[in-house]
Structures are given as C-alpha cells and as structure tokens.
C-alpha cells in the first residue's frame, strides 16, 4: 500500500448533451453545481455538498462512440426505500440493476446493501445504496428488501 485510502473523492462521466445533463444532475438529483469550464465542455458537481466528493461531466459532443458507466450514491436506508416512488414521479424507471422493474429496493445480500438503480439521460447506470447492519448472506443473491427482512439471520 502506497498510502491508506479513506474514500473515493472524484468520478467522471461522459455525456452527449452537457446542458441536459447539468439540468438532470442539478434539478432532478439535487446535486450542487460547483464549477463549469465552457472552453473544455465540462461541469463539476459537489456530491452531496462542497468538499465531500465531486462528479465531473464531460461533453463528448457528436462523437459516435460512448460508454455507459456506473456510479452509486450512498444514501440513508429510508431514502432508498422512498426513492422508487420519487424516481417514478420524476419520470425515471427504477430497476434492480439488471433492468428488471421493481416496486421496492433490492438487497445485494453478499454485502448486504439495499439499492435502487436508474439511468441518467445518457444511459449511465446510477444507484442509490445504503449498507445494511445485518451479516452478509451471499446464498440469497439479489432479493427484494421485504424478503430480506423476513429471511435475514
């Protein structure tokens, strides 16, 4: 180990329409816009507040290639639970990480963590996730939160 790592501070995504993505991350997800550099077609957001962590969005313009990446946002369990309805109210589709539609969070039992996945305007996979205090149960795979609560050890 070179130095002990405390956490991830910064991540970056490419986007096809920077203005549309600024609107999504600022107005739909509520992240504070930190800084834009017009000459470089980039915008930076604080996650969730200044000096905590940062997300950079880089415009790819009209390039024919793009990558779809994944970012998970740590939130409180109660917020993961209400996010299904909140995402739908914003016109977004909550899913289980494999594009299966959900009505409640899923539990990744190997961690364990409750999560809800959805996509940004460029198809990047976003996730709201909350670690659970229970012991891991890898044998359960990925199950609905209500089932986790009835089956946990």
CB neighbours (10 Å) of residue 125? Answer: 16
Q: How far apart are CA 111 and CA 29, in angstroms?
A: 25
Angle (CA) 23 48 43, round 5°: 40
Q: Which CATH architecture has domain 68-153?
A: Roll (3.10)
User: What percentage of residues in the chain have a pLDDT greater than 90?
Assistant: 85
Can you name the residues that pair with 37 across neighbouring β-strands? 42
The reply to whether 68-153 shares the fold of 1-64 is yes
For the cut 70, the answer to whether the pLDDT of residue 153 exceeds it is no
pLDDT of residue 73: 96
User: What Å distances lie between residue 147 and 96, 107, 133, 140, CA to CA?
Assistant: 14, 9, 16, 10
Is a pLDDT exceeding 90 seen at residue 65? no
pTM above 0.85, yes or no: yes
pLDDT in tens, 81-131: 999 999 999 999 999 999 899 999 999 999 999 999 999 999 999 999 999
* Cα 51 off chain centre by: 19
Q: Look at the chain and count its residues.
A: 153
CATH class of segment(s) 1-64: alpha beta
Binning pLDDT at 50, 70 and 90, where does residue 133 land?
very high
Spatial distance between the Cα atoms of 63 and 80, rounded to a whole number of angstroms: 35
Mean pLDDT for the chain overall: 93
Domain ranges for the chain: 1-64, 68-153
């Amino acid at each position: 180990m070179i130095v002990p790592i405390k956490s991830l501070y910064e991540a970056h995504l490419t986007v096809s329409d920077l203005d549309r993505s600024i609107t999504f991350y600022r107005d739909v997800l509520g992240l504070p816009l930190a800084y834009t550099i017009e000459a470089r077609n980039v915008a930076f957001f604080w996650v969730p507040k200044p000096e905590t962590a940062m997300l950079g969005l880089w415009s790819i313009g009209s390039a024919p290639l793009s990558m779809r990446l994944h970012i998970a946002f740590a939130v409180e369990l109660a917020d993961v639970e209400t996010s299904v309805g909140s995402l739908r109210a914003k016109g977004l589709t909550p899913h289980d990480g494999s594009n299966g539609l959900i009505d409640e969070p899923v539990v990744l039992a190997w961690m364990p963590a409750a999560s809800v996945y959805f996509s940004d305007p460029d198809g990047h996979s976003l996730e709201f996730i909350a670690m659970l205090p229970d012991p891991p149960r890898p044998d359960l795979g990925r199950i609905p939160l209500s089932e986790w609560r009835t089956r946990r050890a």
